[in-house]
Amino acid sequence: MADPQDKEDELAGTEQPFVAHLVELRDRLIKAIIAIGVMAGVLAIWPGPAHLYDLLAQPLIAHLPKGATLIATSVISPFIVPLKILLMAAFLLALPVVLYQAWAFVAPGLYSHEKKLVMPLVISSTILFFVGVAFCYFFVFGQVFSFIQSFAPKSITAAPDIEAYLSFVLTMFLAFGAAFEVPVVVVVLARMGLVSVEKLKEFRGYFVVLAFIIAAVITPPDVVSQLALAIPMCLLYEAGIWAAQVFIKHTKAPEEAGEKASS
């Protein structure tokens, strides 16, 4: 019959690492939340929630008829909507810290060749997401709003609701930010061995069609915004194929590299 003391010691030996991981996870989450809170505090002081919304609404305001403005159909919308934008902006500014905390938590459990893969992907995916959001704000919005206003009858005065505009902006930001992650997805699929680089090259024609279908579903019904999403996706797909070849070459496990050298 097993000694109860031995069983207790065995459980104690396995429980402590798990608790330690939970404590570390808690600490990492707290640091990430603090970073977001600090950014929110800074943005609340300058430029302020109201100015942030004015900045976000600028592409639409620039294409509205002279004297037209956005409206609030809810009593608390003038408070809630700028607050949401403040939190969204704070999260984006603190995103490098949040991703670093996630990286610091999982890094000890990774092999050296896996670290070579994960860290560049974290950095590149963050940069690509910001590039997608910036591309949407500085180029796509102007083209979309100009197209919409060109079809508006002269007898109608446009006065969009601020909550509806925020929902539209967030949807477009997520769509373009996610679309610009195409190279990261291609690299991960190729490095995990789910799809070979040769298969990715053969899939080019299908991906072009898929990109235009996605663009037609996500973006408003104008040619400019659809092309603005589909064409970058196609170019980024090619960039992903090139990057996949580089990553596969430089992130092989030691045993993989040894087998290739001996064969």
- Residues 103, 97: Cα–Cα separation, whole Å: 10
**Cis before 47 (ω within 30):** yes
**pLDDT tens digits, 215-239:** 988 887 778 888 889 999 999 999 9
pLDDT for position 95: 87
Which residues of the chain have a pLDDT value below 70?
1-16, 113-114, 250-263
The helix/strand count (H/E) of the chain reads as 12, 0
Report residue 181 as tokens. 């992650």
- Residues 93, 202: Cα–Cα separation, whole Å: 39
Secondary-structure breakdown of the chain: helix, strand, coil percentages, each rounded to the nearest 5:
80, 0, 20
SS3 161: strand
**pLDDT tens digits, 45-78:** 999 999 999 999 999 888 887 777 888 888 899 9
Which residues, other chains included, contact 239 with Cβ-Cβ below 8 Å and sequence gap of 6+? 183
- Residues 208, 213: Cα–Cα separation, whole Å: 9
pLDDT for position 83: 93
Q: Structure pTM?
A: 0.80
SS3 71: strand
The single-letter code of the amino acid at 178 is A
Q: Is 237 exposed, middle or buried (0-12, 13-18, 19+ CB in 10 A)?
A: buried
Distances (CA, A) of 155 to 38, 125, 126, 158, 165: 47, 46, 44, 10, 22
Q: Answer yes or no: are the C-beta atoms of 126 and 99 closer than 8 Å.
A: yes
The single-letter code of the amino acid at 109 is G
- Residues 202, 224: Cα–Cα separation, whole Å: 28
Residue 77: Cβ within 10 Å count:
16
Which residues, other chains included, contact 124 with Cβ-Cβ below 8 Å and sequence gap of 6+? 183, 184
pLDDT for position 256: 52
pLDDT for position 9: 47
pLDDT for position 11: 42
